């Protein structure tokens, strides 16, 4: 049976959700009235908070350098640790629908939870803009598992020698795409040297961006500095041309050209978490 107290529920334990929960927790410490009337609950589909800003580094740690558990612990913080000795009750659940009229959440295990107040902090998911083949033939970089999957594929290609030169195309030159491009240029070169390959550092890393410049929205001086640095380390940049379709080993561009790739990383954009469609808000 549900508690007689009303629930303040935070959906999502990313940066937004965790911050909201900890701020509310302070208010709970201060107010007996709040503690008597409400229960503070945070719901997340993983039992840990993911520090996304370091994901591109995870994708560039060679296999065998560290155990997977160790790598994971460097980029995730267990919710149990974050909310230890707080008023926040955390639960690992996938929210499958949100009924704003009934103030009711439904989870993937069919459990339900009523709320009095709901904070939506569900973040975003990768958007493929309905580009045919984009999802099927690319690697995303949104979760810990994504990072490891990408790393494993690149390392396997280098070790097997199946693809030389290795062509990495990165779709989207926002902050994530630029970070991956720079990191991979070094990572792949390091792996190839380690393999004692003759043609060391024979890698093509290319950023493809639909808008006229890389890092859309950033200050011009930052864009110039980033372009200079990327070019210095060998990253190729193609801007002002959108990807219209993706096949197994090539992307088609709006200007009619095709770019072959060995690995395509999709950093092309994000959209609201899909469960928000059940709220009428997205
Ligand atoms: C590779 C990468 C690098 C980045 N680097 C930077 C950086 O250097 N600096 C910077 O400021 N930003 C960076 N960002 C962006 C940053 O990660 C986001 O802006 C930030 O995570 C948004 O926080 P949020 O709390 O809104 O959402 P999120 O952090 O995405 O948190 C949402 C949470 O809700 C959970 N969730 C989603 N749907 C459900 C559901 N149905 N049921 C239960 N739980 C659900 C998710 O699993 C997640 O834990 C980066 C992002 C990526 C992908």
Span from the CA of 232 to the centroid of ligand 1 (angstroms): 31
Atom of ligand 1 nearest to the CA of 107: 42
Atom of ligand 1 nearest to the CA of 55: 1
Nearest to 151 by CA among 175, 183, 173, 127: 183
Same fold, 6-122 and 144-272: yes
Atom of ligand 1 nearest to the CA of 56: 1
Task: Tell me the CB-side half-sphere exposure of residue 64, using CA atoms within 13 A.
Answer: 4
User: Pocket residues for ligand 1 (CB within 6 Å)?
Assistant: 12-17, 43-46, 52-53, 55-56, 94-95, 121-124, 141-142, 175-176, 273, 275
Which mutation among 18, 22, 53 tests ligand 1's pocket best, with the greatest number of atoms within 8 A of CB?
53
Span from the CA of 5 to the centroid of ligand 1 (angstroms): 30
Span from the CA of 64 to the centroid of ligand 1 (angstroms): 28
Cβ contact 87:25 at 8 Å: yes
Nearest to 145 by CA among 19, 80, 64, 48: 48
Tokens of 128: 């493929």
DSSP secondary structure letter of residue 139: B
**Per-residue pLDDT at 140:** 95
**Per-residue pLDDT at 2:** 52
Atom of ligand 1 nearest to the CA of 12: 34
Span from the CA of 168 to the centroid of ligand 1 (angstroms): 25
Cβ contact 20:120 at 8 Å: no
Which mutation among 16, 97, 123 tests ligand 1's pocket best, with the greatest number of atoms within 8 A of CB?
123
Nearest to 228 by CA among 214, 216, 248: 214
Span from the CA of 46 to the centroid of ligand 1 (angstroms): 12
State the architecture of 6-122 in CATH terms: 3-Layer(bba) Sandwich (3.50)
Phi and psi (nearest 5°) for 57?
A: -70, -35
- Please tell me whether residue 245 adopts helix, strand or coil conformation: strand
Atom of ligand 1 nearest to the CA of 53: 5
Domain boundaries, the chain: 6-122, 144-272
* ipTM for the assembly: 0.96
Span from the CA of 52 to the centroid of ligand 1 (angstroms): 6
- Residue whose CA is closest, atom 20 of ligand 1? 15
**Per-residue pLDDT at 200:** 61
- Please tell me whether residue 78 adopts helix, strand or coil conformation: strand
Span from the CA of 14 to the centroid of ligand 1 (angstroms): 5
Rounded distance between C-alpha atoms, residue 270 and residue 98, angstroms:
21
Residues of the chain with pLDDT under 70: 1-3, 197-201
Rounded distance between C-alpha atoms, residue 236 and residue 73, angstroms:
33
Concatenated DSSP letters of 99-125? ETTTTEEEETTS-EEE-SEEEE---EE
Looking at CATH, the fold of the domain delimited by 144-272 is given as: FAD/NAD(P)-binding domain (3.50.50)
Phi and psi (nearest 5°) for 135?
A: -70, -45
């Amino acid at each position: 049976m549900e508690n007689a107290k009303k629930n303040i529920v935070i959906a999502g334990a990313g940066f937004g959700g965790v911050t909201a929960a900890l701020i509310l927790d302070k208010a709970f410490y201060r107010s007996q009235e709040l503690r008597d009337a409400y229960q503070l609950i945070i719901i997340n589909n993983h039992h840990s908070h993911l520090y996304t800003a370091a994901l591109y580094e995870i994708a560039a740690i060679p296999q065998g350098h560290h155990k997977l558990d160790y790598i994971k612990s460097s980029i995730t913080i267990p919710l149990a640790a974050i909310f230890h000795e707080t008023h926040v009750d955390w639960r690992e659940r996938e929210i499958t629908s949100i009924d704003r009229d009934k103030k009711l959440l439904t989870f993937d295990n069919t459990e339900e939870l009523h709320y009095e107040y709901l904070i939506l902090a569900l973040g975003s998911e990768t958007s493929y803009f309905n580009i045919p083949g984009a999802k099927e033939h690319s690697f995303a970089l949104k979760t810990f598992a994504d990072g490891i999957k990408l790393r494993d594929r690149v390392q396997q290609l280098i070790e097997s020698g199946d693809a030389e030169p290795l062509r990495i195309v990165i779709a989207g030159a926002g902050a994530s795409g630029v970070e991956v491009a720079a990191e991979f240029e070094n990572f792949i070169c390091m792996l190839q040297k380690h393999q004692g390959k003759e043609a060391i550092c024979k890698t093509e890393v290319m950023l493809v961006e639909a808008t006229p410049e890389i890092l859309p929205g950033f200050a011009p001086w930052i864009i110039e500095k980033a372009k200079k640095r990327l070019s210095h380390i060998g990253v190729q940049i193609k801007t002002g041309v959108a990807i219209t379709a993706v096949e197994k080993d090539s992307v088609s561009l709006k200007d009619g050209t095709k770019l072959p790739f060995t690995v395509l990383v999709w950093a092309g954009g994000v959209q609201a978490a899909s469960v928000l469609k059940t709220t009428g808000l997205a």
